[in-house]
Structure 1
Amino acid sequence: MIIDVHAHWGPWFFTMDVAGANVATMDRFGIDLSIVSATEAVIYDAPAGNRALADWLATQDRHLGYVTVNPRRLADAERDLREYLPTGRFAGVKIHTDYTGSSAASPQTREALAMVAEAGLPALVHTWGTTVLDLAQTCADTPGLRVIAGHMGAEGYAHAIEAANACDRLYLEPCYSHAPAGRIARVAARVDRTRLLFGTDSTLIDPASAFGAVAAANLDAETAELVAWRNAARLFGLDITA
């Protein structure tokens, strides 16, 4: 069983598209369930992308969605959460801090994440470098909030270790366009293994990258199973058995 907690649906504005939301691609890598955000929602228009994703998810049985929230358009976010959560096809919220120009420490992102906490959902938040520390602080300051540090800080993975140990409601997801030697093994050795998740960043990055990086970490069997799906099933409240 494998749950991909960081995937996308829809075309990108450049040519890095590997069709990762395609079921055939999922089958090739043994991915049973992907949780996806709409590319259009992330990079351009959150309401339009969320609406298109909701229509597509209604035809799928191996995908769940993230409602993408633009912290600078909170009225839109509140409306979309109210409309799409009752469908049962959305499992969390996606916030891309760079595309929206809203850092994890900004007032608007903190307000958006407070809204997410009130809705009882996990949020996948883009982190890079030291920004994962800002996310940890916002998480610690927001009662009930559960956040996934997308890319676990990328090259700043050492900061992700500090962040995860500072807030027990912060989870780490490792997808990254590079594969520094020992990155995942180092994090897994120093962070509570129940807060480690698996993500690929498809359709932006070929899933082979994430699979190779995790395999190179040589995780023990129990930890590997937690990372592959058990932690995600618990975090998102999914009724899944292997």
Structure 2
Amino acid sequence: MNAPDHFQTAGRLGQPLHGEVVIDTHGHLGHSPDFPIVRPTAAALVASMDRMGIQLTCISSIPAIFGDAEHGNALVADAVQAYPDRFFGYLVMDVGYPDKVAAQLARGLAGDFRGLKVWSYGARTGLPYNHSNYEPVFAFAQQHALPVLAHVFGPELDELEGYIKKYPRIRWLLAHIGSAELEKYKRFAREYPTVWVELCLSSCPRGLIEHLVAAGLEDKVLWGSDAVFLDQASQLGRVLFAQIPVSAKRKILGLNARRALGLEPGK
């Protein structure tokens, strides 16, 4: 095992990380239709971030991904306006209603959003990513070189691969690595310069982060928590206590996210 480093020390003491870049690439606001969430507000999430030393959380809203994009996107816009240095907004589109999509995209880009969040199906009904309704969404992301956070639990990777090849200006954040199809996630991260894989997962497979670093993917792994579905602390601890070099922890916790989100200094 590695000797304790300052990441582990901060985790054990319950102290915030100081002097590190920590970016949560996968967060949410708002209530869930499936189960109660305690304090799903922007203020509560900022308080959580402050306790741990997280500078920025990238958010979409739970109501939006469950079908109420107009209301849900408004929650995110309000949060970004209230805390412009703490939140990065992902826009969610009503892909089931294609007549709405163009206006939603235009308003979002003109407003408080810097990326897109897509979720095909799984915990609720939806359209597969290779459905024609997604074409204008990804074409828009290509035109504006936007990051796209895609909910993936394995099989959806095949639905996205054609778009990844077709639209090289999109930076793809493929969520929930470790859920299924691990080797396929790894192949995507290796083969496509515009693909990163994101860690948040409730089951927290032991050794996953060490495995990804040993596989040479430390530059393509992003930390995300899935807050407020999940607690930021438990998901952060997976990286803090991983048996990997400090340099790899820095990349996973924030430096890689700067590249994936277009937040590199000077850009």
* C-alpha displacement of 1:216: 4.2
Compared with structure 1, are the counterparts of its residues 3 and 220 closer, same or farther at alpha carbon in structure 2 (3 Å cutoff)?
same
* C-alpha displacement of 1:45: 1.2
Residue type of the alignment partner of 1:7: G
Compared with structure 1, are the counterparts of its residues 65 and 158 closer, same or farther at alpha carbon in structure 2 (3 Å cutoff)?
same
Aligned counterparts of 1:229 and 1:238: Cα–Cα separation in 2: 10
Does the CA-based 8 Å contact 1:5-1:35 persist in structure 2?
Answer: yes
Does the CA-based 8 Å contact 2:65-2:119 persist in structure 1?
Answer: yes
Aligned counterparts of 1:129 and 1:222: Cα–Cα separation in 2: 28
2:108 is the alignment partner of 1:84: yes
Compared with structure 1, are the counterparts of its residues 117 and 153 closer, same or farther at alpha carbon in structure 2 (3 Å cutoff)?
farther
Aligned counterparts of 1:166 and 1:48: Cα–Cα separation in 2: 38
Secondary structure of the corresponding residue to residue 109 of structure 1: helix
Q: CA RMSD in A?
A: 2.2
**TM-score of the superposition, structure 2-length normalised?**
0.81
* C-alpha displacement of 1:36: 0.4
Deviation larger for 116-125 or 217-226: 217-226
Instruction: State which of 3, 26, 30 in structure 2 corresponds to 1:10.
Output: 30
Deviation larger for 34-43 or 146-155: 146-155
* C-alpha displacement of 1:221: 1.9
Secondary structure of the corresponding residue to residue 232 of structure 1: helix
Question: What are the equivalent positions in structure 2 for 1:143-162 lying under 5 Å apart?
Answer: 143-152=168-177, 154-162=179-187
* C-alpha displacement of 1:17: 4.3
Aligned counterparts of 1:203 and 1:222: Cα–Cα separation in 2: 28
Residue type of the alignment partner of 1:80: Q
Instruction: State which of 164, 169, 189 in structure 1 corresponds to 2:214.
Output: 189
Question: What are the equivalent positions in structure 2 for 1:151-230 lying under 5 Å apart?
Answer: 151-152=176-177, 154-230=179-255
Aligned counterparts of 2:28 and 2:232: Cα–Cα separation in 1: 12
In our comparison, the structure showing a higher alpha carbon Rg is 2
Residue type of the alignment partner of 1:76: K
Instruction: State which of 125, 135, 146 in structure 1 corresponds to 2:150.
Output: 125
Question: What are the equivalent positions in structure 2 for 1:67-82 lying under 5 Å apart?
Answer: 67-82=91-106
**TM-score of the superposition, structure 1-length normalised?**
0.88
Aligned counterparts of 1:183 and 1:127: Cα–Cα separation in 2: 17
Count of aligned pairs between the two proteins: 240
Aligned counterparts of 1:182 and 1:63: Cα–Cα separation in 2: 30
* C-alpha displacement of 1:151: 0.9
Structure 1 residue runs without a partner (length 5+): none
The match for 1:39 is 62
Deviation larger for 33-42 or 184-193: 184-193
Aligned counterparts of 1:224 and 1:167: Cα–Cα separation in 2: 22
Residue type of the alignment partner of 1:71: V
Question: What are the equivalent positions in structure 2 for 1:89-108 lying under 5 Å apart?
Answer: 89-98=112-121, 99=124, 101-108=126-133
* C-alpha displacement of 1:84: 2.6
Aligned counterparts of 1:84 and 1:141: Cα–Cα separation in 2: 23
The match for 2:134 is 109
Percent identity of paired positions between Structure 1 and Structure 2: 28
Compared with structure 1, are the counterparts of its residues 45 and 181 closer, same or farther at alpha carbon in structure 2 (3 Å cutoff)?
same
Cα displacement string for residues 40-91 of structure 1 (whole angstroms, at most 9, x for unaligned residues): 111121122112321332111311210112332344232122123233x322
Instruction: State which of 40, 46, 52 in structure 2 corresponds to 1:29.
Output: 52
* C-alpha displacement of 1:202: 0.3
Aligned counterparts of 1:117 and 1:106: Cα–Cα separation in 2: 17
